[in-house]
């Protein structure tokens, strides 16, 4: 049996979406004829399923659909456990309840077919992703004609909700993205990124912020924070009550932050080497000069952590160990399991990007934002289509979602290098790469590591974050510490102790030969202990352990060489992507 071509199947199905009404209708009907679109999809997938398994799935499906139809004729309302159909309006209208139940049945059947396809794991994941995108898009909740909540509100408001919804949609079309938050409620520098500080250095690639101390004495070893360049740094400094930056300062640290430039065509030739050499390493030199300390506590978040790891390995190859400690939050060093993002990375797709961008250009921030939204379409797309457009609601003010919509571009050469050498070929941890003229060997970084993963992270699966334990400090497992937080890639990280929400897991028990910690995530989790609240105090204790002695807090930012240029958060973070 030939393996399916996931892209061909996805393309064939997606082409039929030019008639959404046809697709939406078949999600609430049984495929009674061969001409029915669902029958065509069944045939596409069924060609790669064992005949006996396909027959079993079809028989089960027809049995379930027949039972649903009989219940409808008998006036028995179906149970709708999906939160998209939790409103009483769905149950109040028998046809709406039937449509929702039929949609859910067809969705389950298609997903069952995907799981039965004989294909490689990567092929199956791509088919699964494509099918799920279609399923989510075709929910009856997404269409005014089949959404009883939207219809009810339109009647109650005498059409005002529909008028407002159309206005919201047109406004978003002009902005180029769906509004996830009330964007008029926030302004960077006014009520976001307001921790006091000064920009003490800048080059075309980044600004360096030094934050104002909040304690009389501070740890002698400064903290340099490197955020992801794919997003803006103020995710770490939202509002005062949920700012990781403010918390670190309040814990007695002298904190520096890289604020990456939002690239325009003047940075279209920028490479990964530049982000390492002209970015992190140049920032390290500035912090060393300002603080008078040779060693720093280094911090990296997401791809910021990958860049930090690369920079420290480059410096190690040059004979310099500049990190007194290393903190990595939701970071890949080993890219062997990249989760659902794997559907976007194969030789064909990477080669296409290289043809477009390797010689120069920009990867638009809006394209990156759309990619990440597609990983959670019900939460980040269709939920807002229903609320903002069909019901005419204004989105609520939510700082994290405002940040999520404030996208950044990436330089094409840097982006292409990153895709091929990490996601596609996983070369970063192997010692096969040269960056800034040096062979990258992450095992040569001589610094204890605090590694954090989020349990529901769909961008950096937590076992992949955990894998950094086996990359850093090999043979010295006690030098590393792993903490697992609840929730996802962002919400798990931004979990202030002031909120007293969620929980986290630790496992500091010796295990295995030589009292080494478990070498795999499953073993670690089996022996882990759950704690209520925020993991931030665990990190603060780690920084204090590696912060050196207490010294008098700096009286002013910078020094004679690195003079304050402007107040934090600086100009760079306010630049919008085109």
Q: Which residues are catalytic?
A: 302
32 class by beta-carbon count within 10 Å (0-12 exposed, 13-18 middle, 19+ buried) = exposed
CA–CA gap between residue 398 and residue 243 (Å, rounded): 14
315 class by beta-carbon count within 10 Å (0-12 exposed, 13-18 middle, 19+ buried) = buried
Cβ atoms of 143 and 30 within 8 Å: the answer is no
The residues with which 211 forms a beta bridge, in sequence order, are 197
Cβ atoms of 181 and 401 within 8 Å: the answer is yes
Cβ atoms of 175 and 395 within 8 Å: the answer is no
DSSP for residue 188: B
Cβ atoms of 64 and 72 within 8 Å: the answer is no
The number of C-alpha atoms within 13 Å of 56 and in the hemisphere containing its C-beta is 8
* DSSP-based three-state secondary structure for 555: coil
Write the CA distances from 333 to 323, 353, 429, 476, integer angstroms.
Answer: 17, 22, 6, 17
Cβ atoms of 375 and 458 within 8 Å: the answer is yes
Shortest CA distance to 306 belongs to which of 444, 430, 465? 465
* C-alpha angle 8-14-15 in degrees, rounded to nearest 5: 90
CA–CA gap between residue 299 and residue 207 (Å, rounded): 16
CA–CA gap between residue 541 and residue 544 (Å, rounded): 5
Cβ atoms of 269 and 360 within 8 Å: the answer is yes
Q: Which are the contacts of 151, defined by CB distance < 8 A and separation ≥ 6?
A: 144
Cβ atoms of 484 and 504 within 8 Å: the answer is yes
């Amino acid at each position: 049996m030939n393996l399916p071509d996931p892209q061909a199947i996805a393309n064939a199905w997606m082409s039929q979406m030019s008639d959404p009404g046809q697709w939406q209708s078949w999600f609430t009907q049984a495929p009674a004829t061969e001409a029915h679109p669902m029958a065509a999809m069944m045939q596409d997938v069924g060609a790669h399923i064992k005949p006996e398994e396909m027959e079993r799935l079809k028989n089960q499906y027809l049995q379930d659909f027949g039972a649903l139809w009989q219940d409808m004729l008998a006036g028995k309302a179906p149970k709708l456990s999906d939160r998209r159909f939790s409103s009483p309006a769905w149950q109040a209208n028998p046809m709406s309840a039937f449509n929702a139940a039929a949609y859910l049945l067809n969705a389950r059947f298609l997903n069952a077919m995907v799981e039965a396809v004989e294909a490689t794991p990567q092929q199956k994941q791509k088919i699964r992703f494509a099918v799920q995108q279609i399923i989510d898009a075709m929910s009856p909740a997404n269409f005014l004609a089949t959404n009883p909540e939207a219809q009810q509100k339109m009647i109650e408001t005498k059409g005002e909700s529909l008028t407002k919804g159309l206005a919201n949609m047109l406004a978003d079309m002009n902005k180029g993205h769906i509004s996830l938050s009330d964007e008029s409620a926030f302004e960077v520098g006014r009520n976001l990124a307001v921790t006091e500080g000064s920009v003490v250095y800048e080059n075309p690639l980044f600004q360096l912020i030094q934050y104002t101390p909040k304690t009389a004495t501070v740890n002698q070893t400064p903290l340099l924070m490197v955020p992801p360049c794919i997003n803006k740094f103020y995710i770490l400094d939202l509002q005062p009550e949920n700012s990781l930056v403010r918390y670190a300062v309040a814990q007695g640290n002298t904190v520096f932050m890289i604020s990456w430039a939002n690239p325009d065509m003047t940075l279209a030739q920028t490479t990964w080497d530049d982000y390492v050499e002209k970015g992190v390493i140049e920032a390290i030199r500035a912090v060393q000069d300002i603080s008078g300390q040779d060693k720093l506590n280094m911090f990296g978040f997401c791809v910021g952590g990958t860049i930090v790891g690369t920079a420290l390995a480059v410096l190690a190859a040059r004979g310099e160990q500049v990190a007194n400690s290393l903190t990595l939050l939701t970071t890949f060093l080993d890219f062997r399991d990249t989760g659902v993002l794997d559907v976007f990375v194969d030789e064909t797709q990477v080669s296409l990007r290289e043809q477009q961008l390797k010689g120069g250009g920009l990867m638009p921030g809006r394209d990156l934002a759309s990619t990440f939204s597609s990983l959670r379409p019900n939460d980040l797309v269709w939920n807002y289509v229903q609320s903002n457009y069909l019901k005419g609601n204004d989105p609520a003010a939510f700082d994290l979602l405002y940040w999520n919509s404030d996208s950044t571009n990436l330089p094409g050469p840097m982006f292409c290098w990153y895709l091929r050498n990490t996601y596609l070929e996983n070369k970063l941890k192997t010692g096969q790469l040269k960056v800034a003229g040096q062979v990258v060997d992450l095992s040569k970084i001589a610094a204890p590591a605090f590694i954090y993963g989020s349990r529901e992270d769909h961008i950096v699966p937590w076992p992949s974050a955990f894998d950094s334990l086996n990359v850093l400090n090999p043979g010295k497992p006690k030098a590393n510490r792993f903490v697992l937080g609840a929730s996802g890639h962002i919400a798990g990280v931004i979990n202030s102790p002031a909120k007293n929400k969620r929980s986290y897991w630790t496992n500091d028990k010796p295990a295995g030969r030589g009292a080494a910690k478990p070498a795999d995530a499953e073993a670690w989790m089996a022996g882990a202990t759950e704690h209520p609240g925020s993991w931030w105090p665990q990190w603060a204790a780690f920084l204090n352990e590696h912060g050196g002695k207490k010294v008098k807090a700096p009286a002013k930012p910078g020094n004679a060489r690195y003079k304050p240029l402007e107040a934090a958060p600086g100009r760079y973070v306010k630049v919008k992507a085109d």
